[in-house]
Structure 1
């Protein structure tokens, strides 16, 4: 009830200012002022003002916003904690088994695309091979040398 009265008073004041502006022969500005001053009355007539006042002045609505904020905070904290712990429970279990050296939990097999290879001894990384791993990084080394790194 009070909000309806306030909106009606604001609209009446705006229409009064629009009439004074039109009296000064500034009709375009007067029409704009009249348009802005009719908005509060239109909002009261559609019921939007009552909805907004119920939203703003009810403590249960603010308690609901607090519960939603708490929920979002819990989601954020648990997401951050899961990121620090290493992901899913299965991944942590496999990492712990690998650290202990247990063979009880087999490592997941990587999907094989081509034929299976036999185990080869690792190459000496310190020497330059004619077609090995060192050539793959030659362009990167050139870029780093260019920038003085």
Structure 2
């Protein structure tokens, strides 16, 4: 499997989630299964079925997070030397040339993306349009409403 880029923050979030799943969620679901078992007949025990289903979800998520961590290539944006080019981990200030609106985004891994926090996934259309561009360049973003032109005002590595 190929390496998946992660920021330092994203890798730490995954480690915290894994710790929480293993130390809190897994023991809770084991206790819930034991409690449901004590109620008797398992064939008609909805509580038991729900706890087993939850256990399957938790174990699956643990495997998924462990895989993401082991296949992750951690990239610290502060250590990048991209000569002002927009790359993974960069924080960019953009201006929509049609509306004049300005926004700031950081390009992060797919699992870290959260548009409310200004983090866009490396695989998103906007990130693909920005990668390789420099401050002052104009990127064309093909959106459902038509083509939008975004000017890169600033590229930072923070």
Answer yes or no: same fold by TM over 0.5.
no
Q: Of Structure 1 and Structure 2, which has the larger fraction of its residues in helix?
A: 1
Report the structure number with the largest CA radius of gyration.
1
User: Which TM bucket (shorter chain)?
Assistant: 0.3 to 0.5
| TM-score, normalising length: structure 2 | 0.32
Question: Higher RCO, 1 or 2 (CA under 8 Å, sep at least 6)?
Answer: 2
Q: Which has the higher strand share?
A: 2
Q: Structure 1-normalised TM-score? A: 0.33
